[in-house]
Amino acid sequence: MLRAGNAVACLACRSLLSPRMGVRVGVPIQKLHPLSRAIHHRYTNANPQRTPHRTAARHISSLCRLPPRTHKSRYGGQGGHGYQQHRSFWAVRLAARLLKLRYLFLGGAVGGGYTAKKTYEEWKDLLPDLSEYNWVVPDFVWELTEQIDLEKLAKALPDAAELAKLMPDLEKIGENFTFLKSLLSTGVSLVSEVNGASGLRLLLESPGESALKAPEAPVAAAAAASTASSAEGGDKQYKKASDKEKIDQLQEEILRSQMKYQRMLERLEKENKELRKVVLQKDDKGIHQRKIKKSLIDLYSEVLDILSDFDSNYNTQDHLPRVVVVGDQSAGKTSVLEMIAQARIFPRGSGEMMTRSPVKVTLSEGPHHVAMFKDSSREFDLSKEEDLAALRQEIELRMRKSVKDGQTVSPETISISVKGPGIQRMVLVDLPGVINTVTAGMAADTKETIFSISKAYMQNPNAIILCIQDGSVDAERSIVTDLVSQMDPQGKRTIFVLTKVDLAEKNLSSPNRIQQIVEGKLFPMKALGYFAVVTGKGSSSESIDSIKDYEEDFFQSSRLLRDGMLKAHQVTTKNLSLAVSDCFWKMVRESVEQQADAFKASRFNLETEWKNNYPRLRELDRNELFEKAKNEILDEVISLSQVTPKHWESILQKKLWERVSTHVIENIYLPAAQTMDSGTFNTTVDIKLKQWTDKQLPHKALEVAWETLQEEFARFMAEYKGKDQDDIFDKLKEAVKDESIKRHKWNERAMDSLRVIQHNALEDRSITDKPQWDAAIQFMEETLQSRLKDTESVINDMVGPDWKQRWMHWTNRTADQHIRNETKNELERLLKLQEDHTAYLANDEVTTVRKNLESRGVEVDPVLIKDTWHQMYRRHFLQKALAHCNLCRRGYYYYQRHFIDSELECNDVVLFWRIQRMLVITGNTLRQQLTNTEVRRLEKNVKEVLEDFGEDNEKKTHLITGRRVQLAEDLKKVREIQEKLEAFIEALHKEK
């Protein structure tokens, strides 16, 4: 800087030049800085007669006002000097005074501008989000803002850097403020005692800073006003009073101001709620036909719901923030949540465990106070007591339903959303209360299960832990504080809440213990903030409004707040909810983009694996695959209606005869054939057919029909599978088929009607024409040949290979086969001697056969002889029956004459005709029942089974499995999560 020489007559101008530079330069007045000339040499001109005007600079401050001077002559002066000498004297004094004022003015302007800008930024962050109500402002206002370039206006304004250029040396300014600082030191020290009246900035500070230390603006203003009024009241009163009295008086005055401000704020908030409610209700009625988008918290809640069901092996963990509410059992967790939600929504019990599973509560603002479950469309009006009771009952039922047999608590989450005027936006998870002892009726592992559930939620590095502690019991009995200390040792995301403070103040002998708890000095755990709340008098019938009034009245009259043990920002659930909401959204903004990037990486890995392993297949998740399999199964069921009647009848007749042929031959035909005449034969046949029809035949016929339906159904499934070659549905189709068959029951009246039809068919003996006779002969011959073939096979197995087989295949008989062969030869000789022998051997005949065999050295048992005789006689009878059948081919003429005057009797042919006709009629009847009724009932059963399987996720997961399915499931979930996260991030940026 320059230092003026003798050419500068003004001493004030000399003071502008710093002597530190050591440079002496003579500067004429005309070359001084324009600002200096404008202040100090404004009237230095060629007209010395002009009287200078009084400038406004002399009245800037009372501190720099000049002392009064006596009037002197215009041309008079001391030492014979003229007017110029006299003006230089007072001008130097005036310049010095004005120079100090300039420093004060410029410093105050710059500092005030910077402070105003910083204050504006802080207050702007505290303003509520009104982006959802933009439609309230008229459209021409938005058009006006588009035409005015606000950025240009902002750039045109001077910034802090330009203002700083005008600032002088701050050291000189500090010296000038020394006196003012000494005057205000007492007031500042008193104000610092109540510093931190606002709790809104608690969780926005860094972890190293003290929590909730920024004072609220109205409280600070009240403190300043109180200090100023006290100063004006007179310094004598403060000098006489002690320091303690001053502090007490100031605290009481500040408390009264704060309560007044709190009541005013609540009144304004209530009016604001009513206005917002009216506006939103009008919008619901269609006055503003705008599409209401999902709120920010609803978008975030949807992301959390999807993540709760997502299970992946790609180390993609869910680290999105939630407010996790933990506490000892009966510590007041539920009451705190209800105060935040402003409704008594949770089931309550006296001392027993009510929270049996995690409950995720999404809080948001809305025109109506309502609640809704995630998987239901029913809204519960929380302003009506009957809806509140129904909501509590539904929550309790869902909790008990989620708990498996033999357990007490469940990790399954129940999601519910609560909306209402003035509710803070956040997502809370209420966990079961931590217990110390397992009582009767609880599962043995209940304590460990609760700990594992709580740790699973708290180990999320972005989860906000709301630790609830009962203030009415000894702090040493708490379990949850140790658990929280393990999960968050530094306390960077923990908020401590002390409940039942009213009981604690009444019961505790030392109120300082409450102060130690709230200051974080009693427990080993650390926390980001500490709060004290009162949640009612313990009655379940109390309303939220009455609890609020009781809480406010308690803290207004409590000496904990009056004596300074608790700060004003640390009390009431309202301050708690504001602080928790601020912390929640701060965590969300810091972590959501990082989570979105993690899911991007996971999606890339999954898509790469799919392209490498299944390049030609679409990415169908389990539900889509189930729908595809469902359509295929229904198509296969419909294909049953395409089976021709002829096919149904042929397979039904064939299967039914296979099922009943043994009974007809063994129990009806053979016993009747042993009779001596045709009358006895027909009588025996009629009796046995009647018994068979009444008891067994209808039931056997329905069994055959049902089995045939199943086989055809399975056949169509196998044929459909051959077309597609995708075996991923095999387990599902098999399960659907088995379950449908298990559920299917044949029409109960079908058996009765079928019994009547079969009985009438078997009673008819009238063969009307020769083709029917020939068909009966053919049917009988085929049956007898088939039975004879089976009998020959049995006999061959009994006696072993004959000489030709032994010689050609080098095989030998066993000892038992040798005995059987010798017995067979002996019985054949007996049959040759008596061709009309009965079906059973007499005892003496058995003895004769045994002795004959013993004479040849063969020891044989009588039972073996009878066994062998049964097969030998059966073969002998079938051979005779076949010969008789050939004779009866031309017997239709004799049948028409009822076999009168004829040695040929073909009553056995008539029997087989009756059986054959019964089979035809039964097949036709069953076919009609199948096509008209049972196929449709089966289709209905299949649809019901598919619907049941579709609602059972565990069943679908078990039946549709494989890496392909799991990979498609993970891909779908990751994409959905990523899309939801991106939509949420976009909405979050818009809200900023």
pLDDT level of residue 760 (50, 70, 90 thresholds) = very high
Note the pLDDT of residue 59. Answer: 38
pLDDT at 687 exceeding the cut of 70 = yes
Quote the CA–CA distance of 469 and 580 in Å, as a whole number.
16
The pLDDT score that the predictor gives to residue 112 is 59
Residue of higher predicted confidence among 94 and 450: 450
Q: What is the pLDDT of residues 219-259, one digit of tens each?
A: 344 444 444 444 455 544 545 556 777 777 777 777 677 66
Helix 243-284 vs helix 178-193: crossing angle, to nearest 10: 70
For residue 329, give the nearest of 360, 356, 359, 351 by alpha carbon: 351
Question: Between 742 and 224, where is the model more confident?
Answer: 742
Indicate yes or no: pTM above 0.75.
no
| CB crowding 48-59: b at 16 or more within 10 Å, else e | eeeeeeeeeeee
Is the confidence at residue 180, as pLDDT, over 70? no
What are the tens digits of pLDDT across the range 858-916? 888 889 999 999 889 989 989 998 998 888 888 888 888 777 666 678 888 999 999 99
Determine the average pLDDT of the residues in 726-752.
Answer: 82
Query: Is the sign of the CA dihedral 653, 658, 663, 666 positive or negative?
Result: positive
Which spans in 7-63 are helix H? 11-15, 34-40
| Predicted pLDDT at 224 | 44
Q: What pLDDT, on the 0 to 100 scale, is given for residue 612?
A: 92
The answer to whether the beta carbons of residues 64 and 100 sit under 8 Å apart is yes
b/e burial code for range 97-113 (CB count within 10 A of at least 16 → b): bbbbbbbbeebeebeeb
- Largest Cα separation within the chain, whole Å, is 192
Consecutive H or E run containing 426: strand 426-430
As a whole number of angstroms, the distance between CA 782 and CA 889 comes to 14
Q: Is 233 exposed, middle or buried (0-12, 13-18, 19+ CB in 10 A)?
A: exposed
Q: What is the DSSP letter of 669?
A: I
Digit-coded pLDDT (tens) for 303-351: 887 776 665 444 455 688 889 999 888 888 888 888 898 888 888 765 5
Where does 598-737 show beta strands of DSSP type E? none
Q: Report, as an integer, the average pLDDT of 149-161.
A: 58
Report yes or no: 780 and 908 within 8 Å, Cβ to Cβ: yes
Residues 739-753, mean pLDDT to the nearest whole number: 82
Residue 124: how many CB atoms within 10 A of its CB?
A: 8
Does the pLDDT at position 17 exceed 60?
no
Say if residue 14's pLDDT is above 60.
no
| Per-residue confidence (pLDDT) for residue 139, from 0 to 100 | 56
Instruction: Please tell me the distance from the alpha carbon of residue 197 to that of residue 505, in angstroms, as a whole number.
Output: 22
Residue 103 in tokens = 């420093």
Transcribe 135-153 into DSSP letters: GGS-HHHHHHHHHS-HHHH
pLDDT band at 595 (very low <50, low <70, confident <90, very high): confident
Q: What is the pLDDT of residue 462?
A: 87
Mean pLDDT to the nearest integer, 172-177: 51
Q: Give the per-residue pLDDT at 317.
A: 56
Under the banding of pLDDT at 50, 70 and 90, the label for residue 109 is: low
965 contacts 622 by C-beta, under 8 angstroms:
yes
Whole-angstrom distance, CA of residue 398 vs CA of residue 379: 16
End-to-end CA distance of the chain: 48
Distances (CA, A) of 891 to 686, 767, 779, 900, 907: 22, 12, 15, 12, 10
Strand partners, 497: 468, 531
Q: Residue 430: phi, psi to the nearest 5?
A: -90, 120
When pLDDT is averaged across residues 13-23 and rounded to a whole number, the result is 46
- Give the start-to-end residue ranges of the domains of the chain: 324-437, 636-950
Distance CA(642)–CA(622), nearest Å, equals 31
Mean pLDDT across 494-519: 81
Q: What is d(CA 367, CA 280) in angstroms, rounded to the nearest whole number?
A: 6
Q: What's the confidence (pLDDT) of residue 907?
A: 87
Contact 868, 798 (CB under 8 A): yes
Confidence band of 831 (pLDDT split at 50, 70, 90)? confident
pLDDT tier, 270 (very low <50, low <70, confident <90, very high otherwise)? low
Q: What's the confidence (pLDDT) of residue 745? A: 78
pLDDT at 128: 56
pLDDT tens digit sequence for 623-676? 888 888 888 888 877 777 778 889 899 999 999 999 999 999 989 998 888 887
Q: Are 455 and 424 in contact (CB under 8 A)?
A: no
Conformational region of residue 701, where left means phi above 0, alpha means psi within -120 to 50, and beta covers everything else? alpha
How far apart CA 257 and CA 222 sit, in angstroms, is: 6
The answer to whether 897 and 782 have CB atoms below 8 angstroms apart is no
Best CA proximity match to 363, nearest among 410, 404, 416: 416
**Cα separation of 46 and 29, whole Å?**
14
Contacts of 898 (CB under 8 A, 6+ apart): none
Contact 977, 317 (CB under 8 A): no
How far is it, in rounded angstroms, from Cα 180 to Cα 514? 40
* CATH-assigned architecture of domain 324-437: 3-Layer(aba) Sandwich (3.40)
Cα separations (Å) of 847 from 200, 404, 405, 853, 856? Answer: 115, 72, 70, 10, 15
CA distance 348 to 432: 13
Q: Is 146 a residue whose pLDDT tops 80? A: no
Beta-carbon contacts of 44 under 8 Å, excluding residues fewer than 6 positions away, are 29
Q: What is the reported pLDDT for 436?
A: 77
Average pLDDT, rounded, for the chain: 75
pLDDT of residue 657: 93
The pLDDT of residue 98 is above 60: no
pLDDT (0 to 100) of residue 252 = 73
| Residue-wise pLDDT tens digits, 770-810 | 999 999 999 999 999 999 999 999 998 888 887 777 777 77
The stretch 838-847 carries a mean pLDDT of: 87
Amino acid in position 699: H
- Quote the pLDDT of residue 917: 93
327 vs 77, residue with greater confidence: 327
The continuous run of DSSP H or E covering 464 comes out as strand 464-470
Please write the tens of the pLDDT for every residue from 439-469.
877 888 888 889 899 988 898 888 999 999 8
Angle between helices 730-743 and 622-639 (to 10 degrees): 50
Q: Among residues 886, 873, 864, 784, which one has the least CA distance to residue 835? A: 873
| pLDDT score for 931 | 86
Q: Is the pLDDT of residue 287 over 50?
A: no
118-145, pLDDT tens digit by residue? 665 665 565 555 555 455 455 544 555 5
Name the DSSP class of 470. E
Q: Is the pLDDT at 943 greater than 50, yes or no?
A: yes
Distance CA 484, CA 475 (A): 15
Q: What is the mean pLDDT of residues 385-413?
A: 88
Q: pLDDT tier at 923 (50, 70, 90 boundaries)?
A: very high
